[in-house]
C-alpha cells in the first residue's frame, strides 16, 4: 500500500482548511485533501460576508454581546471575545491573498448589517463573498511549494495508534483515503491531522448546502473516539429561494440587513408579532416564525419584500442574487421573493479549543466541523467565516512552532484490508437509505421537535445504522457508501443530543420543554470506543 508522508494533513478545502494550510506551509510539508474539487465547499457558496469590528462607533464588546445573545447565552464568553478580537488579523490575511472587499466612494469599508447585529460590521465582496475568498485562497495555496493538493480524495477513517496495535498513548497518526478517480486506497501518515471538513447539512431533506456537506469530519472524529458537542443545534437558514428549479440557492441575510421585510403572500408583514426586532431578528427566531406562519396558513412559502429599494440599487448591491432570481422569472424590483427555511449550518461538532485542540492527541478540528463555543445555541450571521479565519490562524500558531512529532521511527500503518468484500451490486440500497435518513430527519428532527418524534427517529436510526454497517463490511468501499456511513453517524448524534436537552434554547425548540432553563449547559457525547 502506498503511504504519503506529511508534517500536516489537512482534510477539507474551504476557508478553514486552506487558511490552516497557508499558515502551516512555512513550518513543514502540508498535504490538503478535498473529496471533490477544491472549490466544492460551503465557503464557495457563502454570500453575505465576514464579521469584523472596524467602525469607530462599534466595539468588540458589542460584537461579543450580539454573538452571545444570538447563541441564547450558551456561547463561551472567553471564546467569543477571543475570536471577535482576532477577526481583523483574519481579514488582513484575506486581503493579502488578493480579496478585494467592497469600499465606499470615499475609500472607507462598505460594511453591511445582518440579522442579530447591532451595528454594521460585515465585510463583503458584493453578494459572492465566499466565492471571491475561495478563489483567492486557491490561487495562493497553489503557489506554495510545500503544499500538496489531493483533489477527489475522500478519507475513509482516521488511523489510531492503539487500533493498529502500537504501544504508548492512543493518538491519530494519519488516515486511510480513497482516490475517487482511480479507486486506489492508500494512507496519509502525519503526526498532525487537521479536520476542516465543514458541516452536515445534507442530513436533511431540504438544505442550501452543497452535496459535499455530509459531516465527514464529525463522523471520522467520533469513530476515532473524540468528544462531540452540541449537535442538536442545526441552524435552518430562514430564506432559501422557493422554486422547483432553484436547488439550494440562498437569499442572503444581507438582503434583510439592507431593508427587506418578511411578508405573507398578501404582502402583510408578520415578524413583529414574533419578535420586536422584526425581520432583523436572529436566524433561529426568523426560521421558526416562518415555519409557524406556513403551518398556520397552509401556504407553501413566505416572501421577502425589498421592492422599495429600486432596480438600480438591487443590481449593484446584489448582482448575483438579482440575476439568479431573474432566471426564475422573479424581478426583485417589482416581485415578492418566495422563500422557505432550509438546513444551513452545524453549530455543534467536534469539541475543540480556538487553537484546534480536540480530545485526541494528534487531531485538530477547525471551522464548521468544530464546536469551539463561539456559536452556542445559534450562530450569529457571518460569524462562521470569521471563526474559520481566526481558528485556522490560532491552530497554525500552536502547531507550527510546537508540532506533534513521531520521533525516530515512523509508525507502521498496515495495508488496507478488504477481507471478503465484493463489488457492490445494489446501489439502490444506498440511495434508498440516504433518502430515508434525510426524510426522517426533516420530519422528526427539524425546526420544531417533540419527545415522540425524537424517540421514533432514534429507533429508526439505530436500525439504519446497523443496516449501513452490514453493507459497509459486505461490499468494497465507494464514495457514496462512505458518505452514507458518515451521514448516518451525524444523524444519530443529532438525535441523541436533542434527546439529552430538556429545554428549548436557540435552534433546539421542543414542544415538550418550551421554556429555556436557567443554567445553560453543553451537550457532550463521548466518542466511539469500539
Residue 453 burial class via C-beta count within 10 angstroms: exposed 0-12, middle 13-18, buried 19 and up: buried
Q: Count CA atoms closer than 13 A to 513's CA, side-chain side.
A: 16
Instruction: Report DSSP letters for 308-334, one per residue.
Output: GG-HHHHHHHSHHHHHHHHHTT--TTT
Cα separation, 147 vs 478, in Å, equals 27
| Rounded (5°) CA angle 81-87-92 | 160
From its phi and psi, is residue 491 left (phi > 0), alpha (psi between -120 and 50) or beta?
Answer: alpha
Location of C-alpha cell 433561529? 284
427-513 CATH: 1.20.58.100
Cα separation, 194 vs 380, in Å, equals 25
Catalytic residue among 283, 288, 317, 453: 283
- pTM score of the predicted model: 0.92
Instruction: Tell me the CATH architecture of domain 3-47+126-232+347-399.
Output: 3-Layer(bba) Sandwich (3.50)
Which 3-state string (H, E, C) describes 172-198? EEEEEEEECCCCCEEEEECCEEEECCC
Query: In sequence order, which ranges of 260-318 are alpha helices (DSSP H)?
Result: 283-297, 311-317
How many of the other CB atoms lie within 10 Å of CB of 200? 33
DSSP letter, residue 505? B
φ and ψ at residue 391, rounded to 5 degrees: -70, -30
Cell of 170: 492512543
At 382, which helix (H) or strand (E)?
none
Residue 316 burial class via C-beta count within 10 angstroms: exposed 0-12, middle 13-18, buried 19 and up: exposed
- DSSP, collapsed to helix, strand or coil, labels residue 465 as helix
Residues with Cβ within 8 Å of 507's Cβ and at least 6 positions away in sequence, in order, are 232, 233, 234, 235, 236, 284, 347, 377, 378
Cα separation, 375 vs 67, in Å, equals 7
Residue 80 burial class via C-beta count within 10 angstroms: exposed 0-12, middle 13-18, buried 19 and up: buried
Residue 16 has a pLDDT of: 98
Report the sign of the C-alpha dihedral through residues 280, 346, 343, 94, in that order. Answer: positive
Closest by CA to 136, choosing from 97, 102, 101, 100, is 97
At 261, which helix (H) or strand (E)?
strand 261-263
Cell of 330: 422573479
At 155, which helix (H) or strand (E)?
strand 153-160
CB 186 within 8 A of CB 75: no
Residue 73 has a pLDDT of: 97
Cα separation, 355 vs 132, in Å, equals 25
Per-residue pLDDT of the chain (530 residues; tens, 9 = 90+): 999 999 999 999 999 999 999 999 999 999 999 999 999 898 988 888 999 999 889 999 999 999 999 999 999 999 999 999 999 999 999 999 999 999 999 999 999 998 889 999 999 998 889 999 999 999 999 999 999 999 999 999 999 999 999 988 899 999 999 999 999 999 999 999 999 999 999 999 889 898 999 999 999 999 999 999 999 999 998 999 999 888 778 898 889 989 999 999 999 999 999 999 999 998 889 999 998 899 899 998 999 999 999 999 999 999 999 999 999 999 999 999 999 999 999 999 999 999 999 999 999 999 999 999 999 999 999 999 999 999 999 999 999 988 888 877 889 999 999 988 999 887 889 999 999 999 999 999 999 999 999 999 999 999 999 999 999 999 999 999 999 999 999 999 999 999 999 999 999 999 999 999 999 999 999 999 86
Cα separation, 499 vs 461, in Å, equals 13
Residue 248 has a pLDDT of: 75
Location of C-alpha cell 444570538? 70
Cell of 80: 467569543
CB 64 within 8 A of CB 81: yes
Cα separation, 165 vs 184, in Å, equals 24
Residues with Cβ within 8 Å of 411's Cβ and at least 6 positions away in sequence, in order, are 161, 164, 166, 173, 189
Active site residue 283: yes
Cα separation, 361 vs 173, in Å, equals 9
Cell of 235: 441552524
Instruction: Report DSSP letters for 85-113, one per residue.
Output: HHHHHHHHHHHHHT----B-TTSSB--B-
Q: CATH number of 238-344: 3.90.700.10, 3.20.20.140, 3.40.50.300, 3.30.420.10? A: 3.90.700.10
Residue 502 has a pLDDT of: 97
Q: For the chain, what are the domain ranges?
A: 3-47+126-232+347-399, 238-344, 427-513
At 406, which helix (H) or strand (E)?
none
Amino acid at each position: 500500500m502506498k503511504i504519503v508522508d506529511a508534517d500536516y494533513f489537512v482534510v477539507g478545502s474551504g476557508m478553514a482548511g486552506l487558511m490552516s494550510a497557508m499558515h502551516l506551509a512555512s513550518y513543514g510539508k502540508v498535504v490538503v485533501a478535498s473529496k471533490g474539487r477544491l472549490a466544492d465547499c460551503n465557503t464557495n457558496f457563502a454570500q453575505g460576508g465576514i464579521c469584523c469590528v472596524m467602525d469607530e462607533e462599534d466595539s468588540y464588546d458589542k460584537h461579543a454581546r450580539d454573538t452571545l445573545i444570538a447563541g441564547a447565552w450558551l456561547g463561551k464568553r472567553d471564546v467569543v471575545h477571543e475570536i471577535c478580537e482576532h477577526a481583523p488579523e483574519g481579514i488582513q490575511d484575506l486581503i493579502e491573498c488578493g480579496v478585494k472587499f467592497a469600499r465606499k466612494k470615499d475609500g472607507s469599508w462598505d460594511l453591511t448589517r445582518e440579522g442579530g447585529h447591532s451595528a454594521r460590521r460585515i465585510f463583503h465582496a458584493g453578494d459572492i463573498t465566499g466565492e471571491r475568498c475561495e478563489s483567492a485562497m486557491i490561487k495562493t495555496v497553489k503557489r506554495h511549494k510545500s503544499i500538496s493538493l489531493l483533489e477527489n480524495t475522500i478519507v475513509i477513517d482516521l488511523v489510531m495508534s492503539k487500533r493498529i496495535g502500537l504501544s504508548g498513548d492512543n493518538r491519530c497518526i494519519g488516515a486511510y483515503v480513497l482516490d475517487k478517480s482511480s479507486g486506489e486506497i492508500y494512507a496519509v501518515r502525519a503526526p498532525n491531522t487537521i479536520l476542516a471538513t465543514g458541516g452536515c447539512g445534507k442530513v436533511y431533506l431540504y438544505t442550501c448546502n452543497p452535496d459535499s456537506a455530509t459531516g465527514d469530519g464529525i463522523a471520522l472524529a467520533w469513530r476515532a473516539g473524540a468528544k462531540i458537542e452540541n449537535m442538536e443545534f442545526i441552524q435552518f437558514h430562514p430564506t432559501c429561494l422557493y422554486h422547483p428549479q432553484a436547488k439550494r440557492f440562498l437569499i442572503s441575510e444581507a438582503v434583510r440587513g439592507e431593508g427587506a421585510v418578511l411578508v405573507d403572500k398578501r404582502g402583510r408583514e408578520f415578524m413583529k408579532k414574533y419578535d420586536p426586532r422584526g425581520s432583523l431578528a436572529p436566524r433561529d427566531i426568523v426560521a421558526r416564525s416562518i415555519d409557524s406562519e406556513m403551518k398556520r396558513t397552509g401556504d407553501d412559502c413566505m416572501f421577502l419584500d425589498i421592492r422599495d429599494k429600486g432596480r438600480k440599487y438591487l443590481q449593484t448591491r446584489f448582482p448575483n442574487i438579482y440575476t439568479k432570481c431573474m432566471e426564475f422569472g422573479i424581478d426583485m424590483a417589482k416581485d415578492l421573493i418566495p422563500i422557505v427555511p432550509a438546513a444551513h449550518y452545524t453549530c455543534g461538532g467536534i469539541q475543540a479549543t480556538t487553537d484546534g485542540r480536540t480530545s485526541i492527541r494528534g487531531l485538530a478540528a477547525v471551522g464548521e466541523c468544530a464546536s469551539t463555543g463561539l456559536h452556542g445555541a445559534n450562530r450569529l450571521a457571518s460569524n462562521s467565516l470569521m471563526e474559520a479565519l481566526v481558528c485556522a490562524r490560532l491552530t497554525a500558531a500552536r502547531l507550527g512552532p510546537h508540532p506533534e512529532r513521531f520521533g525516530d521511527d515512523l509508525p507502521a500503518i498496515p495495508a488496507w484490508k478488504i477481507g471478503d468484500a465484493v463489488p457492490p451490486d445494489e446501489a439502490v440500497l444506498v440511495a434508498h437509505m440516504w433518502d430515508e435518513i434525510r426524510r426522517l430527519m426533516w420530519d422528526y428532527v427539524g425546526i420544531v421537535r417533540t419527545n415522540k418524534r425524537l424517540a421514533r427517529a432514534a429507533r429508526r436510526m439505530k436500525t439504519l445504522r446497523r443496516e449501513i454497517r452490514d453493507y459497509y463490511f459486505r461490499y468494497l468501499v465507494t464514495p457514496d457508501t462512505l458518505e452514507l456511513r458518515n451521514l448516518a453517524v451525524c444523524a444519530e448524534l443529532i438525535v441523541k443530543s436533542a434527546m439529552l436537552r430538556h429545554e428549548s434554547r436557540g435552534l433546539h425548540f421542543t414542544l415538550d420543554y418550551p421554556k429555556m432553563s436557567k443554567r445553560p449547559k453543553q451537550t457532550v457525547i463521548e466518542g466511539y470506543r469500539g
